[in-house]
């Protein structure tokens, strides 16, 4: 009897059935990743609400144009326009937006704030408002209105100007307090207008 020189080939072992939870393609089951999505969306929603509030305040209270708001907040003209149009604010006249003329005292304080920032800009050798715009991140028209006493900056921008112009701490605190007082006066006028209390 002839004996084969080659040993017999072993039969392949049967493949065990897949076990639940083993060998799963995790790219198709991103359950762990989706758990972190709701907080991100919530953060985005809060950020959107903050932007909307800033747009409305700048348009209604500070009487900035759509282009000025877009430049200040780094938004497009169309986004600002849609925010205001959705809330029915585009039809407001300049007289309505003004709410009520500022008192002589308030006007004098606003001019004092503007003069202080103009002096601080020149003191740190920013001879033009365009140079100041590049340093502070505010638009040149906004800086011009602030220095001219025609625009009350928000407290964040006041702090930014104090920091960028390297204003000494004592003077910086005084300007922030002055801006805070002006915002309180403006809110009081706006509340008086909306409630009709004379």
pLDDT (0 to 100) of residue 70: 84
Flag whether the pTM goes above 0.85.
Answer: no
The per-residue pLDDT for range 22-36, each reduced to its tens digit, is: 444 444 444 444 444
The per-residue pLDDT for range 62-120, each reduced to its tens digit, is: 667 788 788 878 889 889 888 888 887 776 544 444 445 678 899 999 999 999 999 99
Given a cut of 70, whether residue 43 has pLDDT beyond it is no
Determine contact, residues 179/155, Cβ cutoff 8 Å: yes
Which pLDDT band, with edges at 50, 70 and 90, does 5 fall under? low
Which pLDDT band, with edges at 50, 70 and 90, does 21 fall under? very low
Determine contact, residues 155/180, Cβ cutoff 8 Å: yes
The per-residue pLDDT for range 54-66, each reduced to its tens digit, is: 888 777 766 677 8
């Amino acid at each position: 009897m002839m004996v084969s020189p080659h040993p017999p080939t072993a039969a392949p072992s049967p493949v065990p059935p897949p076990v639940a939870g083993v060998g799963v393609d995790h790219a198709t089951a991103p359950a762990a990743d989706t758990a972190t999505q709701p907080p991100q969306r919530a953060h985005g929603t809060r950020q959107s609400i903050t932007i909307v509030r800033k747009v409305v305040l700048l348009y209604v209270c500070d009487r900035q144009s759509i282009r000025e708001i877009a430049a200040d907040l780094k938004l497009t003209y169309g986004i600002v326009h849609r925010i205001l149009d959705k809330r029915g604010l585009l039809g407001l006249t300049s007289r309505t937006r003004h709410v009520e003329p500022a008192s002589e005292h308030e006007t004098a304080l606003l001019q004092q704030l503007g003069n202080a920032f103009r002096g601080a800009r020149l003191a740190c050798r920013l001879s033009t408002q365009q140079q100041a715009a590049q340093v502070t991140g505010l638009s040149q028209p906004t800086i011009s209105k602030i220095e001219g006493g025609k625009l009350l900056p928000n407290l964040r921008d006041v702090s930014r100007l104090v920091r960028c112009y390297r204003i000494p701490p004592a003077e910086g605190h005084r300007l922030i307090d002055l801006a805070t007082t002006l915002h309180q006066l403006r809110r009081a006028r706006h509340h008086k207008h909306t409630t009709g209390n004379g």
